[in-house]
Amino acid sequence: MSVALITGASRGLGQALARELSARGWSLILDARGADALDQTVSSLRGGPVVAVVGDVSSPDHRAELAAAIAQAGRLDLLVNNASHLGPSPQPQLADYPLDELARVYEVDVLAPVALTQLALPWLAASGGVLINVTSDAAVQAYEGWGGYGSAKAALDQVTAVLAAEQPGIACYAFDPGDMRTQMHQQAFPGEDISDRPEPETVVPALLQLLDDRPPSRRFSSTELCATVHAR
């Protein structure tokens, strides 16, 4: 049975992906900080076994618990570094960005994925598995106000690219899901009506395409992947 670890799986994209992989019979290790929402997500899954580990990805102790859950499962085929921290809302310009807030964005969006990947790499190497780091168009577009989160995602993109060069035995993808109607998106656009944004479930087929087709490691956007899904 294939085993996936998805961070930030209690809502949004992480939850939508967990639902689909569970339905496909995958065994899942899921995390989030909020215990109630994570429990509700686990209860709603109808598939393979699920281990929920409550905690903050930026905590070394929590990451050690996640590593223990992998060891308990005995294998790992997929790590999805999906949990993310936007920073202050509304997002400040870099000229005024509080440095402690910036450090927190980098801690959650860059250092935690690197640290968790370090723990997961032996397992992914053993299974010839897949690493997916969830990025953003803010990593490559210079939007006013997005300098903290966007530069952190740019660092995550480069981390993913270097891991791909260093770890030829596994597939390493940076995946940009595009705009989604989620709590993080609402936080990024406080007070705005975001009801025209697509639900996170619409992005999951693109992620599954990466798993099914296993193209060479690189950065992908959901729009390019969905275009090839629809062209089939």
Rg of the Cα atoms in the chain:
17
Size of the site for ligand NAP (CB under 6 A): 31
DSSP assigned state of 10 = S
Residue 222 interacts with ligand NAP (CB under 6 A): yes or no:
no
| Cβ atoms < 10 Å from Cβ of 214 | 12
Build a one-symbol-per-residue string for 96-115: x at contacts with ligand NAP by CB under 6 A, - elsewhere. Answer: ------------x-------
Question: How near is the Cβ of 34 to ligand NAP at its closest, in Å?
Answer: 3
Query: Which residues does 191 contact at the CB level (< 8 Å), separation at least 6?
Result: none
Nearer to ligand NAP, 126 or 184 (CB): 184
Separation between Cα atoms, residue 151 and residue 142, nearest integer Å: 9
When binding is defined by CB under 6 A, the residue of 4, 6, 10, 91 that contacts ligand NAP is 10
CA angle 95, 134, 102 (to 5 degrees): 25
User: Whole-angstrom distance between the N-terminal and C-terminal Cα of the chain?
Assistant: 28
3-state DSSP: the chain helix, strand, coil percent, rounded to 5?
50, 15, 35
Residue 221 interacts with ligand NAP (CB under 6 A): yes or no:
no
Asked whether 148 and 94 are in contact (CB, 8 A), the reply is yes
Question: How near is the Cβ of 51 to ligand NAP at its closest, in Å?
Answer: 15
Query: Counting Cβ atoms within 10 Å, is residue 54 exposed (0-12), middle (13-18) or buried (19+)?
Result: middle
**Which residue numbers are catalytic?**
149
Question: How near is the Cβ of 126 to ligand NAP at its closest, in Å?
Answer: 25
Which span (88-96, 164-172, 173-181, 204-212) binds ligand NAP, by CB under 6 A?
173-181
Residue 223 interacts with ligand NAP (CB under 6 A): yes or no:
no
Residue 134 interacts with ligand NAP (CB under 6 A): yes or no:
yes
Residues 70-89 that bind ligand NAP (CB under 6 A): 82-85
Residue 151 interacts with ligand NAP (CB under 6 A): yes or no:
no
When binding is defined by CB under 6 A, the residue of 68, 161, 184, 208 that contacts ligand NAP is 184
Question: How near is the Cβ of 184 to ligand NAP at its closest, in Å?
Answer: 3
Question: How near is the Cβ of 168 to ligand NAP at its closest, in Å?
Answer: 25
Asked whether 178 and 137 are in contact (CB, 8 A), the reply is yes
Residue 91 interacts with ligand NAP (CB under 6 A): yes or no:
no
Separation between Cα atoms, residue 82 and residue 93, nearest integer Å: 25
The site for ligand NAP (CB under 6 A) is made up of 7-14, 31-34, 37, 56-58, 82-85, 108, 134, 136, 177, 179-180, 182-185, 200
